[in-house]
């Protein structure tokens, strides 16, 4: 049974059919939230909120306007953005043990590098950070991101390019910690 058939059954009163949608998309939704927030507990909670919102709003889904997955991911993005606005999450809490720079005298521990990378990502405008997460972490196609964001394909490519440039520039300009 495809998504449209499952949705139709739910709308006709077969509440148990909604479980099929949850089972199909739950890991992806929770994973997307985690990749934007890096918080397992928050990801699980927001994932539940997303599916509650989807269930409440299912009557407003229009398969002529978008695929169900695109509609679902847009709701996921909106819920996550609202949560991000309320807190300052660490986006990359797990990092390699040590990062070696070109200069043997300069080593940055993973925690120091991680903290710097978090600060860089946190300073990115939300629209750039989201496109970066969707493309580089979630590995969505540029077209899928355009549909989720509701923007032209060129806008997605431009935002992703700007995000990568800003991250590279910030990493290039960061001060290395010297060991004296």
CATH number at residue 164: 1.10.10.10
Domain C-terminal end among 68, 89, 110: 89
- Co-location of 112 and 39 in the same domain: no
Segment 68-106, tens digit of pLDDT: 999 999 999 989 888 887 775 444 444 443 344 444 334
What pTM value is reported for the model?
Answer: 0.66
Cα dihedral angle (28, 9, 3, 81), rounded to 10 degrees? -40
The enclosing H or E element of 108 equals strand 107-109
- Co-location of 81 and 154 in the same domain: no
Tokens 């739910």 label which residue? 10
- Co-location of 107 and 80 in the same domain: no
Domain C-terminal end among 89, 117, 144: 89
Helix (H, G, I), strand (E, B), or coil: what is residue 131?
helix
Helix (H, G, I), strand (E, B), or coil: what is residue 146?
helix
- Co-location of 147 and 63 in the same domain: no
Domain that holds residue 147: 91-180
- Co-location of 39 and 97 in the same domain: no
Q: Is the dihedral of CA 151, 153, 154, 157 positive or negative?
A: positive
- Co-location of 50 and 115 in the same domain: no
- Co-location of 49 and 82 in the same domain: yes
- Co-location of 147 and 72 in the same domain: no
Pinpoint the alpha helices (H) of the chain: 3-11, 18-37, 40-57, 68-86, 110-123, 126-132, 142-149, 153-173
Summarize the confidence of residues 60-75 as an average pLDDT.
91
Highest mean pLDDT among 25-39, 46-60, 90-104, 141-155: 46-60
Task: Give residue 25's pLDDT band: very low, low, confident or very high (50, 70, 90).
Answer: very high
Segment 99-137, tens digit of pLDDT: 444 443 344 455 676 677 667 777 888 888 888 878 877
- Co-location of 95 and 83 in the same domain: no
Domain C-terminal end among 39, 63, 89: 89
- Co-location of 145 and 175 in the same domain: yes
How many distinct structural domains can be found in the chain? 2
């Amino acid at each position: 049974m495809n998504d449209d058939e499952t949705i139709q059954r739910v709308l006709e009163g077969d509440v148990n059919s909604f479980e099929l949608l949850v089972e199909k998309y739950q890991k992806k939704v929770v994973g997307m939230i985690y990749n934007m927030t890096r918080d397992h507990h928050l990801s699980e909670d927001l994932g539940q909120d997303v599916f509650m919102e989807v269930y409440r709003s299912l009557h407003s889904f229009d398969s002529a306007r978008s695929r169900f997955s695109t509609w679902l991911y847009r709701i996921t993005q909106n819920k996550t953005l609202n949560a991000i606005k309320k807190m300052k999450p660490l986006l990359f809490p797990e990092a390699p043990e040590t990062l070696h720079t070109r200069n043997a005298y300069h080593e940055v521990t993973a925690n120091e590098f991680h903290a710097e990378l978090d600060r860089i990502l946190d300073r990115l405008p939300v629209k750039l950070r989201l496109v970066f997460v969707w493309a580089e972490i979630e590995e969505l196609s540029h077209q899928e991101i355009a549909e989720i964001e509701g923007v032209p394909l060129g806008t997605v490519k431009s935002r992703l390019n700007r995000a990568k440039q800003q991250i590279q520039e910030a990493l290039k300009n960061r001060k290395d910690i010297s060991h004296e």
